[in-house]
Structure 1
Amino acid sequence: MRHFGQLGAEVRRRLFHLEPQSFDRRSDAPVLAAALGATLYCPATRPALAADVRRQAARGAVSMVLCLEDAIADSQVRAAEANLLTQLARLAAGPEDDLPLLFVRVRTAEQIGDLTRRLGAAARLLSGYVLPKFTEATGPGYLERLAEAEAALGQRLFGMPVLESPELAHLERRRSELLGVAEVLAKHRERVLAVRLGVTDLCAAYGLRRSPELTAYELPLVASAIGDVVNVLGRTDGTGFTLTGPVWEYFPLPGGGPELDGLRRELELDLANGLLGKTCVHPSQLPVVHARTVVSHEEYRDASDILRREAGGVSASDYRNKMNEAGPHRRWAERVLRRAAAFGVARAGVGFAELLSAVRGG
C-alpha cells in the first residue's frame, strides 16, 4: 500500500516531485509510524464492517481502528466482539494485499489475548491493538498481555496507547503520570508504534467541548496537556515516540457541508507541535488529513539543504525567504524527510487545494 495509491499514475506525476513510497504491515516500525496518516475509527458493531474496510482502503485509508470501546454502548460489547470475529474472518477469506493496517481498540487488557485466540487464523490481519485510558497503573497490564498475544500468535503486534485519563488532565498529577508512563513505554519500546492523544476525554474532565471554529490548541487546558506530552514523550533524542494528533469530531452533513477549515488549521498546529497522524471519525476527513500531510516542495528543499551540511553553518534557503541553520534545524529536517517518504513531496507550485481536489476526485 501507499498513500495516494488510489490516484492514477498521470495524476500522481502531475502532483508530486517525489511520490510516496510503498509499505506494508511487515515494514519497519518507524516506516509504519510515519505512514499512519488519518486513522479511521469504525464501531465494531457495523454489520458490513468487512465491506467498509475494503471500501475505505480503496478510497485511500491506510490505517483503521475497529473499536470495542467508546464507539459502542456497554450493552453491545459481546455482540460487537462476535461481529468483529465474523467480519475479520470474511476479510481473511479474500485478498489481503489491499487491506489497510488494522487495529482493534479494546476495553480491557484481558481482551487482547482472548480476541487474538478467538480470531484464529484471521488474527494475521491485525497490526495490533489500541490501548485506551492508558496510565502508569494500567499500562503494564496492557503491554504484558500484548507481548503474550504476540508470542502465542508468532507474529508482531503493535500497541498504540491512548493518553486520555484524568491523571493527565489534572495539573497536580500530570508530571508524575507522564514520567511514569514514559518508564512503562520505554520497557516495551519495540511494540509501541505510536502514542495517541485522547483530547475528547481530556475535555470531558472539565465539561468542555470545542466548537468547529476552535482547534484543540485554542483551549488552554488542552494545549498545555499536549505541550507536556510532547515535552516528555515526543523528544528526538531516541527516547521519544511518534505522537498522533487529537480527534476532529466534526464532519460535513450528507450531500454537502462547510469546508473543514477547522480541521485544516488543527493539522497545521499538529505538525508545528511535532504530531504526525490524526484520529478520524468520518471518511470525509481522510482527504484533508492526507493532503495537508504531503511535504511541500519548499519544506523538502530546506530539509535536504540542511542535511547536506554536515559541518553546520547557516545559509539562505533556496526559496530566499528564510535562514536554514544546519545544527538546530537538523532534527526538524530528519522529520520532514520521514514524512516525505510516507506522503510524498509536492511539485513546486502544487499546494493543499490542488492535492485535496485530486484526492476528492475533483
Structure 2
Amino acid sequence: MRHFDHLDPAVRQELFYLDPAEFNRDSGIDLLASALGATLYVPGTRENLVAAIHRRAKAGVRSIVIDLEDAVEDSRVDEAMSHAIAAITELSQTGIDAMLFIRVRTAEHIQELSDRLTDARALYGFVIPKFSPWTGQAFLDAAVECGVAHGLRMLVMPVIETPEAIYRESRNATLAGIRELLNRYRDNVLAVRFGATDLCGLFGIRRERDLTIYDVKVVADLISDTVNHLGRGDDSSFLITGPVWEYFATHERLFRPQLRTTPFMDHDAQALRHSLITKDFDDLIREALLDRANGLHGKTVIHPSHVAPIHALSVISFEEYTDAVEILESGTGAKASTYRDKMNEAGPHRYWAEQVLRRASAFGVASEQTSFVDVLSALVSA
C-alpha cells in the first residue's frame, strides 16, 4: 500500500517531487510508524464494518483501529468482539490497503481474539488502553504470543491515559517505568499514543473548539514530559502520536479564524478556506502543527473528514527536504540554507533531518511549486 494512491496519477505527478514509498506489514517499524498519519477509530459495533473499512481505505486512510473500548457500551463488548473477528477474517482473505489494529479492553481480549481468528493476516496489532508499568506487560506478552500463534509480527500502540501518568507526584516514576518496559519489547512497539479525552476527564475538563490541547496545561505538561522520556533523539526513542481532535461540525465561533486568507487566494481556494473554518478545521490544523512542534507525529482522528488535513500536513515540503539533505550531507559546522532564510547546523539539526527523511519516505516530498493548500485541495476533491 502507499499514501495518496487514491489520487489520479496525473495529479500525483504534479504534486510530488518524490513519491511516497510503498509499505506492508513486513516493512520496518520506522516506516510503518511514520506512515500511520491520521489513525481513524471505528467502533466495533459499527454496522457493515467491512464495507466501512474498505470505503475509508479507498479514500486514503492507511491506519484504522477497530475500537472495543471507549466507543463501545459495556453491554455490547461481546458483539463488538464478534464483529471485529469477522471483519479481520474477511479482510485477511480479500486484502485491504490499510494497517488494521484492534483496541482491546483487557489482555484476555487479545488471547480470545488470537484463539478465535482463523486468518489474521490483515491484523497489524493492538492498541493497549490505560497503559502503565504495572498492567502493560500482560498486554505485551499476549500480543507477542498472538503473533507467534499466527506466524505474524504483531505490533502494539500503548495509550498513555492513566491517573498515575498525569498526576504530578507519580508522573516521572510512571513514565520511567513505561520507558523501561517498552524498551524490552522494542521490536513490537509501533508508536505511543495519548488518550486526551480520558486525561481531560480526570480533571472535569473538556477543551473548547477554539482551543488546542496545548491550552489545557495539565495535558500539555504530560505531553512534554512524555516526549522527554520516550521521544529522545537516541536509540531509546519511540514515535509518539498526536492526541484526538474531538470536533467536526459547524458552530458559532468566539475567536477569529486561524487561517490567513492570502495562501488560499494565491491558489484560488477561498471556498476551501471557508469550508475549513466553518468546520473548525483551522483549529485542527493549528493543533497538528503544535503537535509537530512538540515532537509528535500523526494524529488520532474520529471522523473521516479529519484525515485530509492531517495527511496534507504530513507531506514534506521541498524546502524542508532540501534543508534535511543539506544537513545530512554537510558533515559538521553550520551554513545558511539554500533558501537563505535560516542557518542549517549539522550537529543540533541532524536528528530533525533524519526524521524529515523518514516522514518523506512515508508521505513523499512536494514539488517546489506545491503548497499545503494544493495538497489539501487535491485530497478534498478526490
Contact 1:164–1:201 (Cα < 8 Å) also in 2: yes
Q: Distance in 1 between matches of 2:16 and 2:295?
A: 23
Does residue 1:324 correspond to 2:322, yes or no? no
Match for residue 311 of structure 2 among 290, 312, 315: 290
What is the RMSD of the two structures over their aligned residues, measured on CA atoms? Answer: 1.4
Does residue 1:176 correspond to 2:177, yes or no? no
Aligned to 2:206: 209
Aligned to 2:357: 337
CA shift for structure 1 position 90:
2.8
Q: Distance in 2 between matches of 1:158 and 1:292?
A: 25
Aligned to 1:3: 3
CA shift for structure 1 position 87:
2.4
Letter aligned with residue 115 of structure 1: L
Cα deviation digits, residues 200-257 of structure 1 (max 9, x gap):
111111001111111111111111110000000001210010100001111136xx74
Q: Distance in 1 between matches of 2:91 and 2:353?
A: 39
Q: Distance in 1 between matches of 2:139 and 2:280?
A: 39
Contact 2:88–2:123 (Cα < 8 Å) also in 1: no
Aligned to 1:185: 182
Q: Distance in 1 between matches of 2:381 and 2:280?
A: 16
Does residue 1:305 correspond to 2:326, yes or no? yes
Aligned to 1:101: 99
Letter aligned with residue 74 of structure 1: D
Q: Distance in 1 between matches of 2:342 and 2:369?
A: 18
Letter aligned with residue 25 of structure 2: R
Q: Distance in 2 between matches of 1:259 and 1:201?
A: 22
CA shift for structure 1 position 347:
1.4
Q: Matched residue pairs, number?
A: 357
Between 295-304 and 343-352, the greater mean CA deviation after superposition: 343-352
Q: TM-score, normalised by structure 1?
A: 0.96
Does residue 1:314 correspond to 2:312, yes or no? no
Q: Distance in 1 between matches of 2:99 and 2:299?
A: 14
Aligned to 1:38: 38
Cα deviation digits, residues 318-352 of structure 1 (max 9, x gap):
11101111111000000011111111111123211
Letter aligned with residue 202 of structure 2: A
Q: Which runs of 5+ in 2 are unaligned?
A: 251-274
4+ residue runs of structure 1 moved beyond 6 angstroms?
Answer: none
Q: TM-score, normalised by structure 2?
A: 0.91
Cα deviation digits, residues 49-100 of structure 1 (max 9, x gap):
0001111000000000000000111111011111222222332342x1x430
Aligned to 1:118: 116
CA shift for structure 1 position 278:
0.6
Q: Distance in 2 between matches of 1:166 and 1:330?
A: 35
Q: Distance in 1 between matches of 2:83 and 2:320?
A: 45
Equivalent position SS for 1:124 = coil
Q: Distance in 2 between matches of 1:52 and 1:60?
A: 13
Contact 1:53–1:99 (Cα < 8 Å) also in 2: no
Does residue 1:81 correspond to 2:90, yes or no? no
Does residue 1:138 correspond to 2:159, yes or no? no
CA shift for structure 1 position 154:
1.4
Q: Distance in 2 between matches of 1:307 and 1:91?
A: 41
Letter aligned with residue 114 of structure 2: T
Contact 2:191–2:238 (Cα < 8 Å) also in 1: yes
Q: Distance in 2 between matches of 1:228 and 1:337?
A: 25
Aligned to 2:290: 269
- What does 1:58-77 correspond to in 2, within 5 Å? 58-77=58-77
CA shift for structure 1 position 259:
4.8
Aligned to 1:234: 231
Q: Distance in 2 between matches of 1:259 and 1:149?
A: 41
Contact 1:252–1:284 (Cα < 8 Å) also in 2: no
Q: Distance in 1 between matches of 2:347 and 2:149?
A: 46
- Percent identical among aligned pairs is 49
Equivalent position SS for 1:5 = coil
